[in-house]
């Protein structure tokens, strides 16, 4: 969360070297919105230069990147520039932090003007700096952006997506996707993948058994491939699963379901095997490193201590067993050649039937995908 405020390219370069050394090949990183756009009409030149440095470091280590814009929501907190806040709207389910302080306010209409115009300004500037950059796999339109604010209608969400995709395509000539997550599939948030994903090069999805009411347990390996299949069915796009993982069981980890380190490694391998067998483009583990204990009293960890323990490496830098599981899979360098099998579901009927339709669809999915088949 403080990466851009306390920027250290040496530390980032060291992390990228280790990630490449593990045989992993893509890094998703977040552009903290208030660092890059301190006012609606102002972009921070130091932050833009730091963005250039991150891309250059990734290029040195032959990594590709997925820069995630307008962040925005991260780990249970909405981190927002003060100018985006609506004085008539309370923060709601997720607290707002701006300039290091908690605010009682929520964001204005993220999907319409004037906030959309400000987003276009930042997207255009970033796109021009990274035009045809070989290290950028795709732009990511925000991390679980429906947690910032739900759109007023599916057409608002689709128009927002189309506008930003057009801006980024013109400025950078690089692909675009967006951070859809499991709750967009299990709650009707006026997100319809058939329309919001229409201008995307591929769809993405985030999902975790510990956050999925339909999961059988914290290590259920079918939750992620099921969400990927739903995403493909409704978006009519190939799917990259851009967040999966699980909190580790550690002192102070909190009450959210956790896995011990060996179970986490098994879970990672089981999910990757299923995703590949069923046609996914790839998957990103959340996240690179655990957080040091000294941050436990700061947001988001003060209210979500489990967020400290999702990493591939521990806070001291030592590798967890999941690092070996990811390396073993990555070094097989498998191609994504299998065509997706769409689920026999109609998007509109599915959303009208929520929440029952999710459990029904998952039960049916388990009947036809036993033991990783």
**How do the pLDDT tens digits run along the chain, 373 residues long?**
899 999 999 999 999 999 999 999 999 999 999 999 999 999 999 999 999 999 999 999 999 999 999 999 999 999 999 999 999 999 999 999 999 999 999 999 999 999 999 999 999 999 999 999 999 999 999 999 999 999 999 999 999 999 999 999 999 999 999 999 999 999 999 999 999 999 999 999 999 999 999 999 999 999 999 999 999 999 999 999 999 999 998 766 666 789 999 999 999 999 999 999 999 999 999 999 999 999 999 999 999 999 999 999 999 999 999 999 999 999 999 988 778 888 999 999 999 999 999 999 999 999 988 654 5
Q: How far is CA 20 from the centre of its chain?
A: 20
Residues 142 and 167: beta-carbon distance below 8 Å? no
Q: What is the DSSP string of 80-144?
A: --GGGEEEEEE-TTSEEEETTEEESEEE--TTSTTHHHHHHHHHHHHHHHTTT-TTB--EEEEES
Q: What was the pLDDT predicted at 225?
A: 97
Instruction: Report the alpha-carbon distance of residue 305 to residue 75 in Å, rounded.
Output: 10
Backbone angles phi, psi at 83, to 5 degrees: -70, -15
Q: What is the pLDDT of residue 252?
A: 60
SS3 313: strand
Q: Report the candidate in 345, 206, 229, 343 with the shortest Cα–Cα distance to residue 280.
A: 229
- Residue 194 is encoded by which pair of tokens? 């058939």
Hey, what are 98's tokens? 């701006």
Structure confidence at residue 181 (pLDDT): 98
Could you give the dihedral angle defined by the CA atoms of residues 145, 167, 55 and 98, in that order, rounded to the nearest 10 degrees? -40
Omega prior to 4 cis, within 30 of 0: no
CA distance 223 to 154: 25
What does pTM read for this prediction? 0.95
The reported pLDDT for the residue numbered 253 is 62
Domains, the chain, with CATH or none? 9-372 (3.20.20.80)
pLDDT at 371: 52
């Amino acid at each position: 969360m403080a990466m851009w405020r306390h920027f250290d390219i040496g530390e980032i370069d060291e992390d990228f070297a280790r990630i490449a050394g593990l045989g992993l090949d893509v890094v998703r990183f977040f552009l903290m919105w208030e660092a890059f756009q301190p006012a609606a009409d102002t972009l921070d030149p130091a932050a833009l230069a730091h963005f250039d440095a991150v891309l250059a470091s990734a290029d040195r280590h032959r990594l590709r990147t997925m820069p995630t814009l307008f962040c925005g929501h991260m780990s249970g907190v909405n981190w927002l520039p003060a100018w985006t806040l609506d004085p008539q709207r309370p923060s709601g389910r997720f607290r707002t932090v701006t300039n290091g302080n908690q605010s009682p306010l929520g964001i204005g209409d993220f999907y319409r003007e004037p906030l959309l115009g400000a987003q276009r300004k930042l997207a255009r500037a970033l796109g021009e700096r990274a035009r045809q950059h070989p290290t950028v796999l795709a732009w990511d339109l925000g991390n679980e952006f429906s947690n910032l604010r739900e759109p007023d209608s599916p057409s608002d969400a689709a128009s927002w997506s189309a506008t930003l995709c057009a801006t980024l395509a013109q400025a950078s000539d690089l692909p675009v996707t967006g951070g859809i997550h499991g709750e967009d599939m299990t709650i009707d948030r006026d997100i319809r993948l058939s329309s919001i994903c229409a201008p995307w090069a591929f769809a993405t999805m985030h999902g975790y058994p510990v956050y999925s009411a339909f999961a059988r347990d914290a290590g259920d390996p079918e939750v992620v491939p099921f969400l990927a299949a739903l995403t493909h069915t409704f978006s009519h796009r190939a799917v990259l699963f851009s967040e999966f993982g699980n909190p580790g069981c550690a002192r102070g980890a909190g009450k959210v379901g956790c896995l011990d380190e060996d179970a986490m490694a098994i879970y990672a391998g089981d999910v990757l095997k299923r995703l590949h067998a069923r046609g996914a483009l790839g998957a990103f583990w959340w996240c690179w490193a655990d957080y040091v204990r000294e941050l436990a009293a700061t947001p988001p960890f003060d209210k979500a201590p489990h967020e400290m323990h999702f990493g591939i490496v521990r806070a001291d830098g030592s590798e967890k067993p999941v690092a070996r599981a990811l390396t073993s899979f990555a070094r097989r360098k498998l191609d994504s050649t299998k065509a997706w099998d769409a689920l026999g579901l109609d998007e509109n009927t599915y959303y009208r039937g929520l929440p029952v339709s999710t459990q029904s669809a998952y039960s049916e999915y388990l009947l036809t995908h036993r033991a990783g088949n």
